Amino acid sequence: MYVQKCIKGVNGIDLDRAKEMMQDEGLTCNWWRERARTPRTGIGLQEIGERLTHSNLYLHVNAYGAQHPDYAGLVFQETPFISLSAGNVTAPVFSRTSTVWSAHQTALDFATGHGTYLGDCFLFHCWVIVGLRSAVGVRALAEEVRDLKTYSQYSYYQGEGEIAAKIDVPPSQIEKFEHWRTTSTGLNQDPEFIDEWGNPGYIDPATVVNLREAL
Amino acid sequence: MALHNLSAARDALGLDLAALQSRTGFYRAYARNLEGGRSPAGADPIWERLANPADPWLGPAMIASSYRTAAQYAELFDTRLAVELMLHASRAYLDAGAAFGLFLAAGAMSDEALQQAGGPQELRKLSSGTSGPQVAPSNADSPVQQAYLLLAVAARPVLREQFRGDPQAMLRRLSAYGLEPVGAQGIALERYLDIAQLMLADRTTDRDPEARLPDELAGTMASHLAAIGRAHAAALHANRRNEHLWRSAAAPVNIVDLEQTALFGLVAGPESGRSRQVLGRVADLVADDEFAQVTSLAAEQTAEVMPSMTGRATEILRRLDRQRRPGSGDDQASGDYPDDSDDR
């Protein structure tokens, strides 16, 4: 397993709500939030295992806006997964691909609604644990989503692209958020960085990796 | 069915004009903000951090990638804007020490335009490993970047004349890495080398605009390009499955791939007769798949607008525009361009 740092772009919330999410609630999947809204039932623990399946992960990645074949809502309303942006690149990879996909850029792109959203938006910096092999049914492990045949912009050489977390990312794994604002859309957009807020309850992943320091 | 231009391709792809403009706007704004972050004066802290990371090549590499992506979306609604963005990408790739920058520019420009814009000087800097303080050392030795350099040299006489190495020796050395995947489609390097070999074998010095290649040579070149176009088309077809991302033009695929556009431009050349001949053969070979025609159309439309953009290309590639644009923040904005007296 390895620790992957990721960024999640979110819009449609205000600054106070962003602080609540960072410090109290964490990042939750759409399924959780839909259930909390109507009929305010929440999700049952026994349901989680039923939803964490390969077929639901496939739909999350490849049919996000479609009607879910098994549930009442659309895939994005029923999904137990949370898309996170991951990306970093080394010089040898850049030499081979001539492309850098940065997690920051991808998250800001989603936060600004791909250039269509006006107002405040937020980039949450967090970490998750990713298994070296796929383990869709294990809630604690995030999945690397890297279909190189389909999503050919991603590199053959690097784990860049999308990470799918499951159910939630707790506040202790959220380091900070960036506050951005867009005042124009389309060709002349220019997202503006406003400020950055740290999470006092953040736990550095260095404390849980397989390395013990000697004093 | 044969498509006649990229507007028709946009319709065939089912992409919305406003979505494409938004994608271009986002990536252009991102690149410009990173450029602003390279200036110590007045930069937002976040842009300053992203544009000046610990690895000095990474800032220009991110700027280059952002301009490239912006250009790829712009290809589908404004060719002149796309070329302008491609040239900014080219400049940034060169700043990152990547020969891909010269490959992009050479794919769109005639020999005269390349000469005027400083192409030979950039070639010398890349060949001698003196591309400036921001070069990532490993870029210079990368077989893929070397292949881009070779293709540019093989295609453009003005670069071939200036190249101090032996293109055939370079080709032999690179053939050892033949299965290395290149670019977004993971095309095997050996196909690029085969194309370079064909261009090196073409000793035509006749720059008559209506000159044509021997028919067999044109056919072989076209079959390589058609295969590359089909690989690109397969990626486009697969990505349409996710309608949510596709409709927003946010699917992680190069809808137009500048790398392929430049390659098509290098092979077809700036001369109208040869270009019509080669790209016409490609069009025949991929007539059954509209998506496989996108790259060929992008190369054609780039060739149409480029002659009227030579001055702009020179400004961008020689960084003359930076001296007029306040806050552009390029720390190489002036004073480091090689002496033009070095031109031969």
Query: What pLDDT, on a 0 to 100 scale, did the predictor assign at position A134?
Result: 83
Q: Which two tokens stand for residue A212?
A: 């013990």
pLDDT at B170 over 70: yes
Which residues does chain B have within 8 Å of residue A102's beta carbon, measured at their own beta carbons?
50, 62
To the nearest whole number, what is the mean pLDDT of chain B? 86
Residue B209: cis peptide before it, omega within 30 degrees of 0: no
How far apart, in whole angstroms, are the C-alpha atoms of residue A118 and residue A191? 9
A199–chain B nearest CA distance, Å? 18
Report the phi/psi class of residue A59: left, alpha or beta, with left for phi > 0 and alpha for psi in -120 to 50: alpha
For chain A, percent of residues with pLDDT exceeding 70: 91
Query: What pLDDT, on a 0 to 100 scale, did the predictor assign at position A73?
Result: 94
pLDDT at B342 over 50: no
pLDDT at A31 over 70: yes
Which residues does chain A have within 8 Å of residue B30's beta carbon, measured at their own beta carbons?
105, 108, 191
Compute the average pLDDT of residues A161-171: 93
User: Count of residues for chain A?
Assistant: 215
Q: Which of B25, B66, B68 sits opposite A188 (nearest CB)?
A: B25
Query: What pLDDT, on a 0 to 100 scale, did the predictor assign at position B295?
Result: 94
CA distances from A76 to A29, A45, A68, B61 (A): 9, 20, 8, 34
pLDDT at B136 over 90: no
A22 versus B51: which is more confidently predicted? A22
B 91-110: CB under 8 A from A: 93, 96, 98, 100
The span from the first CA to the last CA of chain B, in angstroms, equals 48
Spatial contact of B63 and A94, defined as CB atoms under 8 Å apart: no
How far apart, in whole angstroms, are the C-alpha atoms of residue B117 and residue A117? 39
Tens of pLDDT, residue by residue over A130-156, are: 988 888 999 999 998 865 555 555 555
Q: How confident is the model at residue B339 (pLDDT cuts 50, 70, 90)?
A: very low
To the nearest whole number, what is the mean pLDDT of chain A? 88
Question: Do the Cβ atoms of B184 and A108 come within 8 Å?
Answer: no
> Count of CB contacts below 8 A, A vs B?
151
Query: What pLDDT, on a 0 to 100 scale, did the predictor assign at position B329?
Result: 43
How far apart, in whole angstroms, are the C-alpha atoms of residue B38 and residue B331? 7
Nearest to B242 by CA among A21, A201, A193, A61: A61
Q: Which of A94, A105, A192 sits opposite B61 (nearest CB)?
A: A94
Question: Do the Cβ atoms of A91 and B139 come within 8 Å?
Answer: yes
For chain B, percent of residues with pLDDT exceeding 90: 61
Question: Do the Cβ atoms of B62 and A191 come within 8 Å?
Answer: no
Q: What is the predicted ipTM?
A: 0.89
Question: Do the Cβ atoms of B62 and A196 come within 8 Å?
Answer: no
Q: Report the DSSP beta bridge partners of residue B155.
A: none
Q: Which residues contact A122 (CB under 8 A, 6 or more apart)?
A: A9, A10, A11, A13, A18, A111, A177, A178, A179, A180
Query: What pLDDT, on a 0 to 100 scale, did the predictor assign at position B224?
Result: 96
How far apart, in whole angstroms, are the C-alpha atoms of residue B183 and residue A96? 7
All structural domains of chain B with their residue ranges: 6-330
Compute the average pLDDT of residues A158-178: 88
Q: Which two tokens stand for residue A99?
A: 């492309």
Tens of pLDDT, residue by residue over A46-76, are: 899 999 999 999 899 888 889 999 999 999 9
Compute the average pLDDT of residues B180-189: 86
Query: What pLDDT, on a 0 to 100 scale, did the predictor assign at position B327?
Result: 46
- E-strand ranges in chain B read 181-182, 187-188
Query: What pLDDT, on a 0 to 100 scale, did the predictor assign at position B127?
Result: 81
How far apart, in whole angstroms, are the C-alpha atoms of residue B314 and residue B297? 24
Query: What pLDDT, on a 0 to 100 scale, did the predictor assign at position A160?
Result: 55
